[in-house]
Amino acid sequence: MCGLMGFVSNSGRAGDFVEAVRAGMQCARHRGPDESGAWTDEGSDGGNVVFGFNRLSIIDIEHSHQPLRWGPSDQPDRYALVFNGEIYNYLELREQLTAEHGAVFATDGDGEAIVAAYHYWGPEATARLRGMFAFLIWDTVDGALFGARDPFGIKPLFTATTPAGVAFSSEAKGLREFTGSARVDVPALQHYLVLQYVPEPATMDSSIRRVESGTHFTVKPGRPPVFRRYFHPVFNPRPVSSDAERTALYQRIADVMDDSVAQHMRADVTVGSFLSGGIDSTAIAALAKRYNENLMTFTTGFDRQGYSEIDVAAESAAAIGVRHIVREVSEEELTSTLPLIIWYLDDPVADPALVPLYFVANEARKHVKVVLSGEGADELFGGYNIYREPQSLRRLTDLPTGLRRGLAAAGRALPQGFRGQDLLRRASIDLEERYYGNARIFREDQLSGLLHTYDPGRSFRDVTDPIYAQTTESDPVARMQHIDLFTWLRGDILVKADKMTMANSLELRVPFLDPEVFRVAATVPASEKVTKETTKLALRKAMELIVPPHVLHRRKLGFPVPIRHYLAGDSYEWARSIILSAQTDEYLDRNAVLALLDAHRAGETDNSRRIWTILVFQLWHEIFVTGAITPQIPEPVYPVRL
């Protein structure tokens, strides 16, 4: 787990950009405090590429230094690699490459396995990697760069194209050594206010883009990158019609999860686990205990009733038999640390769970260097309550189109807020119109009086329609899951997981987001995902002998944050001061924002998530656009080994 940078020069003068790469790497020091290095392909013309790297040593600590050089026996040092992440099947890949091709390795790490796989198998090698990754490989013979990002988007990779060349980085802020101060991407801002994140491949900075999940690319000096998708997730539910088939399905899930956790436990340092009060993290911790008798778990919460799972997590830890550590977060810590969190975040994501995640990661890093977590279970196994909506609306959505239009008219005739009004509205519209992800902050019709740059011709459907187009043969639940894989999961869930843990030089691994797990999860039928009573039915059944009973059917909370109470109380003035000082009038109507805040304090309506979304953008703007806020960045001081 590390931070990488790379620059491919258009002019063959890559050496002129070494200092820019070094400065960008300094912005990402937290991602790899153990060692740092740079490499330039210095030819007679001054070189074509510069690589920079910050390392967090996890596997083969004494060796596997990066930038890493590798080549076959007749072309030693042909390739240079920078690589962020972990390849969990690297031992198997090395063995296969040696047996089939006579590959020779100088280290015991996973980096050489990537380069050798690329040398012998070409771009197809990317699909054979079982892990989380973003990497760049420079071929000194062909004079070309090859890179890729993992199937689900667990590890980030940003890119910027400039007149001088193409740059890549694990941190968007590092690329500003090439692009200058951030410039607000107006379409991205509108999508952000609806979705609470900027959908890939955009960022809030118009000069920087993301390399999309599940893609690889090539770059030749003087030419733009060519991107190709190598991972095409397909949910292919298979009906189960007998108890024997159900039992077999549950066993396949249990087996593949055990195997995935075993793979994710591979490390030369201590591995712990996050633990909330839900089935996902509890299952991961219970499985991990099989492979580490001294497993430590970590949880967090707020000192307010209903906003903490500390007690449930502690009960789970006792049942599993692990040492458990708790980090409680105060309201003052939330408000005072938010600018620093947003600096680490790079791009605005308005998920309040970022805050407790940052603090629990900070606590965990005092004890371990790697943690497992339960991200991805909901998207793969059907864990969100909204996935039950197709079932609850079926009697209405199966009606002829004319009758459904009548329902919509009837709903509009009801008084605003009347019970059942929204049910009639949602039943009258197609899935593509009513479902665009888990977080829906502002409705499109609420933006016209708030966002000065509002464009009525722009919609969330610009993002989701191309994704829906890939799922026309799937059932409604599978289609919703597919949407979340390409939007919510990689735009929110995985961003906050990576950024908040790496802010604390802590590696987070997600065993649910594994290609082998996906192959099994993709076959689960809707009837084994959601019912009237529960979600993730098949996963719960598969974990019955692993997860303590008090968690097995418990409603998911995660790391809840009491911003509704804070913004109506002691944090009101804090929020108001940000709104008044932010230099965002070009985009947002200040009076409209203040009206949202005042209506929230008065108890007229719960505007907490909308206010929080605006505050996160305004703080991001003042940090990266105007420079009015400069958070104090702590120097990483963690030991190399734990």
* pLDDT tens digits for range 548-559: 888 887 766 656
Same domain, 525 and 541: yes
Same domain, 523 and 583: no
Residue-wise burial string across 521-554, b where 16 or more C-beta atoms lie within 10 A, e elsewhere: bbbbbbbbbbeeebbbbbbbbbbeebbbeebbeb
Mean per-residue pLDDT over the chain, rounded? 92
Same domain, 408 and 332: no
Q: Is 2 a catalytic residue?
A: yes
Q: Say which residues have a Cβ less than 8 Å from residue 560's Cβ, sequence separation at least 6.
A: 301, 302, 306, 307, 308, 309, 353
pLDDT at 640: 46
Phi, psi of 535 (to 5 degrees): -120, 170
Give the pairing type, strands 49-55 and 35-40.
antiparallel
Same domain, 408 and 358: no
- What is the domain extent for residue 269? 243-383+486-552
pLDDT at 44: 46
Residue 298 lies in a domain: yes
* Residue from 2, 253, 467, 578 carrying the catalytic annotation: 2
Q: What count of other Cβ atoms lies within 10 Å of the Cβ of residue 202?
A: 19
Residue 475 is inside which H or E element, if any?
none
Domain boundary among 496, 528, 552: 552
Same domain, 116 and 84: yes
**Contact, 209 vs 226, CB < 8 A?**
no
| Residues 141, 146, 65, 636, CA torsion sign | positive
Q: Is 373 part of any known ligand binding site?
A: yes
What confidence tens digit (pLDDT) does each residue in 282-294 have?
999 999 999 999 9
Give the Cα separation of 541 and 533 in Å (integer).
14
pLDDT at 439: 80
Q: Is 280 part of any known ligand binding site?
A: no
CA 227 to chain CA mean position, Å: 20
Q: Say which residues have a Cβ less than 8 Å from residue 202's Cβ, sequence separation at least 6.
A: 185, 187, 188, 191, 209, 210
Same domain, 126 and 260: no
Same domain, 68 and 155: yes
Which residues of the chain have a pLDDT value below 50? 44, 640
Same domain, 195 and 101: yes
Number of residues assigned to the chain: 642
Q: Is 437 part of any known ligand binding site?
A: no
- CA-based nearest residue to 204, from 633, 592, 499, 619: 619
Residue 251 lies in a domain: yes
